[in-house]
Amino acid sequence: MPKFTILHLYPNTLHLNGEVGNVVALVERGKASGLEVAVQSVELGENLPTEKPDLIFIGSGILSAVKVASVDLEKKSPKLIDWVGAGAKVLAVGAGFDLISKGLEVEPGQTLFGLGLADTRHRITNDHLVGEVVTESGLAGFINWNREIVRGGTESILATVSSSNEAQLVGYQDGYRTGNIIATNIQGPFLPMNPSVADELLGISGKVAKRNATLNQLAEKSREAISRRVNR
Amino acid sequence: MIPLAVLVGKALRFVLRLRGGGSAVPGRIALAIEPKFLQKTLGRMQRGIYFVSGSNGKSTTTAMLVKVLRAHGLRVLSNPAGGNLPQGLASALLADVSLFGRLDHDVAVLEVDEAYGKLIAKKVAPNGLLLTNLQFDQLNRFHSPEEVFGYLDELATLTKELLVVNGTDPNTERLAKGHRARLKAFGVYASKEAVASARNGILAAPSFDLDESDLQHIINLVSTSGNRAVITHGGAAVELTLPAAGLHYAVDAALAIGMASKIIGADFKAQVAADAISELQAVYGRGEVIHHQGQNIEIIMMKNLPSLQANLDALQESPKTVWISVDEGTPDPSWIYDIDLGKLRHADVISGTKTYQWATRLAYENLDFGELIEDENAALEYFLKLPGTNKTAVINYEQMMWLRKRLGLLDLEGGNA
């Protein structure tokens, strides 16, 4: 049975909005498609595994949690950056996006370390955007986010919000996508709500196992419900 | 201006109540006529004003504190939940206040919203503040527990004398340490054994504080099992019956007793307090059972992650007939993936605008999700027709209020507290 290994960084420190649901989706969908999926969790101060994982997941958290994670991540950064260079995929959600960026400015003069995997610089703003969204590419979910993001290039955007119950979110450019890296601020959680992205990360797009078909239907209905609400 | 404010306010209140329902309008008018309305009424309370705030357990803890103080012979004024804003509170006061602003009470105990509490505190500063906990709650509104920490910290800054907190919660404990130079600050602590009685513990938001010193203990929760709890006060242990099973109720009770002991002082009797709490009914939606046409419907409230988790952890066995219903009162239910479903092993019917998000969650866990009926009226009809008399409803706050109304239980929350 082909193997798929997931490295879940700081699950007990970085969890804010059910991000673990993304890992659940990867595990369950992978298993249904005949993959042998294993998850290894690494907490603050713990050692990274010796072997390169297939995917690195990093979730969101409260600011004090992001600060301690950032310090720990800096120590782990050479190995993580090497792995991604050698093809390990990355999914970063919420504050996890901050931690794979080129840094998060929490206040003038204080910037937290980021892995620099995404060509973006982040800054915390007082303008909190909160609402349900549907994107031009058909992704859906909930955004609750207060960052200004300066990008190296526009080709790195994951999705553009086409409708939302929050007017300021319409046109919002979400997340990051390049090569083997995906970052987003869409919750739902992101992968259970948008399972096609999970299948892409797992490399199982196109062959839909029976159980995954049921999960896809439920996700589609969830997205439809959001779409009805934001287009009301 | 007090007599005019009271007169106009009372008249408006009378007229509006004839038309049905309460309203904040009389309070708003009274405050417009006399901006110091709250100071000139509540501010005269002989034994002071006390606030209860925190993420969860406010209503239960307030009800318990009121009951314990009354059992000690004090005349206590309290606010119905929802009277969290100055105008709502002023409206509630109009029922009891004399033309000259006199209230026939010794002490006021007010449940205040984490964010709005300061609006009341700036008008009439509390003598004491009781903080139940700081947990993940309403992230769409508060964004992060850290933002709520700031609100509660500001409330403590506006408090005059006394601060009692849940010492087992690392954030409320840390908050109290920051004020102990100016305020008398005390902690109510739960033993390791008590915390271990719930599958997921006390469910506090994370804190990365390294100061491990304790506050001065006033009450310790020694143990809890089912709806029984043992606490110690001044070295003596008392046992009490909780309004419903669960560690969270035991912590609420210990907090209420701790606060009462400081308000009452030398005349406080732990046994009187324990007996008073043992007589208390569940604040509804929290461990409450609704009786309807021969069926018993136990409510499991899904107000936020910690409240749902605490209620699930308190389940003694797997519920047989389950209805889940969640609407836009929970704008982003992503956090249901952080929930340990524990004894909840299936659903018979799911309804509300978030039907499919809940069904997806159960499907990923390989659990049956039953019928999916977005319309809650149709779902309720289906649920009531299912065989059996003992049923369970996992619902959010807004669905609970809807359900109560739908089943003809018309009293508003806190009306009987």
Q: Which of A128, A87, A85, A95 minimizes the C-alpha distance to A9?
A: A95
- Please check whether residue A227 touches B, CB under 8 A: no
Residue B239 has pLDDT above 80, yes or no: yes
Chain A to chain B Cβ contacts (< 8 Å):
96
Phi, psi of B260 (to 5 degrees): -60, -40
* Percent with pLDDT over 70 in chain A: 100
Please state, in angstroms and rounded to a whole number, the distance separating the CA atoms of residues B199 and B190: 15
- pLDDT one-digit tens code per residue, B334-357: 999 999 999 999 999 999 999 999
The nearest alpha carbon in chain B to A227 belongs to B353
Mean pLDDT of all residues in chain B?
Answer: 90
Q: What pLDDT does B336 receive?
A: 97
Q: What pLDDT does B20 receive?
A: 62
With tokens 């100061």, the residue in question is B211
Mean pLDDT of all residues in chain A?
Answer: 96
Higher pLDDT, B271 or B15: B271
Q: What pLDDT does B143 receive?
A: 87
Phi, psi of A71 (to 5 degrees): -65, -45
Cross-chain Cβ contact B334/A188 below 8 Å: yes
Confidence of residue A207 (pLDDT cuts 50, 70, 90): confident
- Please check whether residue A94 touches B, CB under 8 A: no
Confidence of residue B414 (pLDDT cuts 50, 70, 90): very low
- Please check whether residue A219 touches B, CB under 8 A: yes
Average pLDDT on B304-325 reads 92
- pLDDT one-digit tens code per residue, B75-96: 999 986 656 788 888 888 888 8
Q: What pLDDT does B149 receive?
A: 96
- pLDDT one-digit tens code per residue, B188-223: 999 999 999 998 898 989 888 777 888 989 989 999
Residue A214 CB: number of other CB atoms within 10 A? Answer: 14
Residue B415 has pLDDT above 50, yes or no: no
Cross-chain Cβ contact B364/A222 below 8 Å: no
Q: What pLDDT does B150 receive?
A: 95
On chain B, the residues whose CB falls within 8 A of the CB of A218 are 356, 359-360, 363
Q: Position A2: which residue type?
A: P
On chain A, the residues whose CB falls within 8 A of the CB of B336 are 18
Q: What pLDDT does B211 receive?
A: 79
- pLDDT one-digit tens code per residue, A4-43: 999 999 999 999 999 999 999 999 999 999 999 999 999 9
Q: What pLDDT does B101 receive?
A: 83
- pLDDT one-digit tens code per residue, B100-127: 888 889 999 999 999 999 999 999 999 9
Please state, in angstroms and rounded to a whole number, the distance separating the CA atoms of residues B285 and B300: 7
Q: What pLDDT does A94 receive?
A: 96
On chain A, the residues whose CB falls within 8 A of the CB of B357 are 188, 193, 222, 225
Q: What pLDDT does B10 receive?
A: 86
Q: Please check whether residue B119 is in contact with residue B59, taking contact to mean a CB–CB distance below 8 angstroms.
A: no
Residue B367 CB: number of other CB atoms within 10 A? Answer: 15
pTM attached to this predicted model: 0.89
- pLDDT one-digit tens code per residue, A34-75: 999 999 999 999 999 999 999 999 999 999 999 999 999 999
- Measured in angstroms, the CA of A85 and the nearest CA of chain B are apart by 31
Confidence of residue A192 (pLDDT cuts 50, 70, 90): very high
Q: What pLDDT does B96 receive?
A: 85
Residue B412 has pLDDT above 80, yes or no: no
Q: What is the DSSP letter of A55?
A: E
- pLDDT one-digit tens code per residue, A141-178: 999 999 999 999 877 999 999 999 999 999 999 999 99
Q: What pLDDT does B62 receive?
A: 95
As beta bridge partners, residue A186 has none
Q: What pLDDT does B130 receive?
A: 98
- pLDDT one-digit tens code per residue, B168-191: 999 999 999 999 999 999 999 999
As beta bridge partners, residue B164 has B130, B186
* Percent with pLDDT over 70 in chain B: 95
Residue-wise DSSP of A138-152: S-EEEEEEEEEEEES
Please state, in angstroms and rounded to a whole number, the distance separating the CA atoms of residues A26 and A56: 12
List residues of B whose CB lies inside 8 A of any A CB.
Answer: 136, 139-140, 143-146, 205-208, 328, 331-332, 334-338, 353-357, 359-361, 363-364, 372, 374
Q: What pLDDT does B22 receive?
A: 63
